[in-house]
Structure 1
Amino acid sequence: MATASLPPVRPAIRALADRLIADRRHLHQHPECSWQEHETQRYLLRRLAEIGLADVRPIARTGATALVQGGRPGPCVLWRADIDALPVPEKTGLPFASQNDGVMHACGHDAHMAIALALAAWAQAERHRLPGAIRFVFQPAEEASGGAAACIADGVLENPRVAVALGLHISADIPIGAINLAPGPFFAAPTAIRIEITGRGGHAAAPHQSVDAVVVAAHAVTALQTVVSRSLPPSEQAVLTIGKIQAGFRGNVIAESAVMTGTIRTYSTSVRDLMIRRTEEILAGVCAAFGATFTLTHETSCPPLVNDPVVTADVLELARGYFGPDRIIGVPTMGAEDMSVFLEARPGCYFWLGARNEARGIAGRHHDPGFVIDEDALPLGAEFAARIIEHFLAR
């Protein structure tokens, strides 16, 4: 999408664009992984104090929060931005590439923080005409999970009590000038699984004396592909992926054990429970056939993200007016996002903001060393966020 045809940005936010980009680039150069965001926290606290917000304070060990208090009574709206980076070595070649070896903002959280800071600056300057209050939450440890719950435990939903929770995720897959937004389940619940298969080791030249854990694991992986295709109704969506297998010591030794790790992604507890049950049943059958045993452990780190239908209907109407009806994608993802914890506690909406621009060679992938975004998307994010916040403050 040509820059000239992008949606308009009000002068007050356009005036913040240079600082918005500068914030993003500074944060991109200094990424920190989950629960290690100490320098990031210090930077955010300093910037929030410079902007002049109230109640600027650390939360959730390495996060930050602040409040814009409006000029008259009204509801409180929460805007959340995640702040952690990934253990990914950057290979973008950007002049502001990561200075922390092996760590990169490869999912756009630097952009989320920069948009939130610009939004805070706009809201603080406009506070006398705004009703209610805006609670800004800079959440640590989204990638590791647990950060959202820690923020809530530190009281960000109270004093003042939050009525609506909002946020966005930058997207390297969606074209600039478009968004992805839909009511109901929008991100999946991630369930990590670990399977250990135990057989009997031995010499590779005498396989009849052993129970080969590698062979059992291979059959198990193949059989587990039927959990979704043959155990779930076609109307349900789910994923089961085995992403890692470890077994054996060397080529002439039959492995006594094999460890497989993977993920189950679902939009409902009932489907997750069915998939775990079927996984156990399949593993029991495969292992019994070969004379092996197994253990299965699983952990769901956050619930599915469910956009409130009433709140999302309002955001969709605003999106039609701003981006245009033909620039709205309504496709849920099997990715996970612990903004879901906020949306369990309060009605709200979370959406993808497009930042891909193939015409300019900006076409990266999330969680990839070459992840890049079109920075022209950032003022659009701040503008649309301002429109959403104004709408819900006026309700």
Structure 2
Amino acid sequence: MVSTFPSSYSVDLSRVRLSIRTLQPQLVEWRRRLHQQPELGFQEKLTAEFVASKLQAWGIEHQTGIAKTGIVATIKGTKLSTHTSTTSAALSTSPLSVKHSALSTEKVLAIRADMDALPIQELNEVPYKSQHDGIMHACGHDGHTAIALGTAYYLQQHREDFAGTVKIIFQPAEEGPGGAEPMIAAGVLKNPDVDAIIGLHLWNNLPLGTVGVRAGALMAAVELFNCTILGKGGHGAIPHQTVDSIVVAAQIVNALQTIVARNVNPIDSAVVTVGALHAGTAHNVIADTANMKGTVRYFNPAFAGFFKQRIEQIIAGVCQSHGANYDLEYWSLYPPVINDAGIAELVRSIAEEVVETPVGIVPECQTMGGEDMSFFLQEVPGCYFFLGSANPEKDLAYPHHHPRFDFDETVLPMGVEIFIRCVEKFFS
């Protein structure tokens, strides 16, 4: 992961074809309109109406109301196809890729963009500031949607340049509770069956125009837990009559850190974080209960189920030693984002043709952040990648989920260019 930025750099847009560069004013206009009207997960009514209105105006076949507010656009190329049903196997060595691509004679590539915003009050003073109190596009999803719209528009105008079908998936609720699973359940990867999927995330942890792409794990699994320690309250001066839930909780917090330190292979990466601990009401009262909330992150899919078991073992053991009880809730939100090697190589080869900065392509770009793009990647081979969008010289380098998050809009045509070239090369 790149943690520092060049002191000065410029972005060369000459590698973005002129017909896409001329879309820049529209891309910015669309992004800013979306930014002004942010909506939370499964509530993206205005966003979906805007996307659908554009697709309708451009004559693009699309379905609305998928998983409440999701949309899928379908664009069929008219270029004469010369591939066979197994050519996509050349793009990936994974058994899943070969098995899936052999099912159909016409290749289908999906592009995914998320549409939802966050419950954050925006602090930016810009003309396109959020008009919805307490809601903000603080993670770049407005840019993702604008890039996907630009890609749809360009593909519709240049269908003679590719042979195959492109599905563009406008997904709700990535930030939670998750829109990918219900969209998959609704059949967005079927009729016609999708052979591969790609998606991007504008990334303020990378300088403008760089691309973070790698095979294998890119983003972490996300698991969450709530635990209430059930002790016995009493007077702070007479502790021997109580079971102090705060003492028990404190020992649990410390003990949970031994899971990564002593139960996980140091070669693997994992995180156990207790993010909230609440107990007590007064100076001289021993708390009857203590509540803690936390998250678990890891890249290796083999850890599925391991942390849940180990966390409960530790909580149960500490509670037993103090005579306390507990109530534990534990659930898996998203699996890790695992990129297919062949599709990741396709994206990397295209990115090298589009971007040129002092940093360029960043293969070591993993993050313990999570993404429900992972559910799509469990179904079909694909690649999720980061497109650097930070520009400190313009004060556009605040981190994701910050109330002053914003990005350099120069990145928008780069995203369209990468998607378009991926489409053309995938079908070639």
Counterpart position of 1:358: 392
Shift of 1:58: 2.9
Q: What is residue 89 of structure 2 aligned with on the other side?
A: none
- 1:37 maps to 44
How far 1:128 moved relative to its partner? 2.7
Structure 2 CA distance for partners of 1:314 and 1:162, relative to 1, 3 Å: same
Do the aligned partners of residues 273 and 149 (structure 1) sit closer, same or farther apart at CA in structure 2, a change above 3 Å counting? closer
What is the alpha-carbon distance in structure 1 between the residues aligned to residue 56 and residue 178 of structure 2?
26
Of stretches 12-21 and 53-62 in structure 1, the one that deviates more from structure 2 is 53-62
Name the structure 2 match of 1:157. 189
Q: Does 1:334 align with 2:331?
A: no
Residues 20 and 115 in structure 1, CA contact (< 8 A), matched pair in contact too: yes
- Name the residue aligned to 2:103: none
Provide the secondary structure at the position in 1 that maps to 2:305. helix
Whole-angstrom CA distance in 2 between matches of 1:270 and 1:163: 25
Higher mean displacement: 234-243 or 122-131: 122-131
Distance 2:53 2:273 in 1: 42
- Matching residue within 229, 254, 262 for 2:261: 229
Letter of the 1:134 counterpart? V
Q: Where do residues 177-196 of structure 1 align in structure 2 (5 Å cutoff)?
A: 177-196=209-228
1:381 is matched by which residue type in structure 2? G
Which 10-residue stretch deviates more, 262-271 or 316-325?
316-325
Unaligned residue ranges in structure 1 (runs of 5+): none
State the one-letter code of the partner of 1:135.
Answer: K
Q: Is 1:64–1:139's contact at 8 Å kept on the other side of the alignment?
A: yes
Deviation at 1:288, TM superposition (A): 2.3
Alpha-carbon shift at residue 289 of structure 1 (Å): 2.5
- Could you tell me the percent identity over the aligned residues? 42
Q: State the match for 1:17 in structure 2.
A: 24
- TM-superposed CA distance for 1:6, in Å, is 4.7
Cα offset, 1:197, TM superposition:
0.8
Report how far residue 353 of structure 1 moved.
Answer: 0.4
Native 8 Å contact 2:252 2:314 kept in 1: yes
How many residue pairs were aligned? Answer: 394
Partner of 1:213: 245
Aligned 8 A contact 1:190 1:300 in 2? yes
Q: Letter of the aligned partner of 2:23 in structure 1?
A: L
Question: The residue matched to 2:42 in structure 1 has which SS?
Answer: coil
CA contact (8 A) 2:55 2:62 kept: no
Mapped pair 1:8 → 2:41: no
Could you say which residue in structure 1 is the equivalent of 2:302?
A: 270
Runs of 4+ more than 6 Å apart: none
2:320 & 2:183 partners in 1: Cα distance? 46
CA distance in 2, matches of 1:271, 1:340: 15
Matched residue of 2:276: which SS? strand
Q: CA RMSD in A?
A: 1.6
Query: 1:21-71: per-residue Cα shift (whole Å, max 9, x none)?
Result: 000000000000011111111111111111221134331101111111111
Using the TM superposition, give the Cα deviation of residue 146 of structure 1 relative to its aligned residue in structure 2, in angstroms. 3.0
Please list the CA deviations of residues 247-297 of structure 1 after superposition, one character each: whole Å capped at 9, or x if unmatched. Answer: 223333211111111111122343243322222222223222322122322
Q: Secondary structure at the match of 1:58?
A: strand
Distance 1:172 1:274 in 2: 32
Cα separation, partners in 2 of 1:224 and 1:127, compared to 1, 3 Å: same
2:280 partner letter:
G
| Deviation per residue, 1:61-108 (Å, 9 max, x gap) | 011111111114541110110011000110111211100000000110
Q: Give the TM-score normalised by structure 2.
A: 0.89
Residue type at the aligned position of 2:240:
H
Given the superposition, is the C-alpha separation of residues 15 and 290 from structure 1 closer, same or farther in structure 2, using an over 3 Å criterion?
Answer: same
State the distance in 2 between where 1:151 and 1:318 align.
Answer: 28
1:242 aligns with 2:274: yes
The DSSP-based 3-state class of the residue aligned with 1:270 is helix
CA separation in 2, counterparts of 1:276 and 1:148?
Answer: 23
In the alignment, the residues of structure 2 paired with residue 17 and residue 333 of structure 1 have an alpha-carbon distance, to the nearest angstrom, of 30
Deviations 1:141-180 (A, max 9, x none): 1111431111112221122221110110001110012011
Q: Does 1:104 align with 2:111?
A: no
Tell me if structure 1 keeps the 8 A contact 2:16–2:354.
no
> 2:60 aligns to what?
53
Q: Return 5+ residue gaps in structure 2 as ranges.
A: 1-7, 82-105
- Displacement of 1:4: 5.0
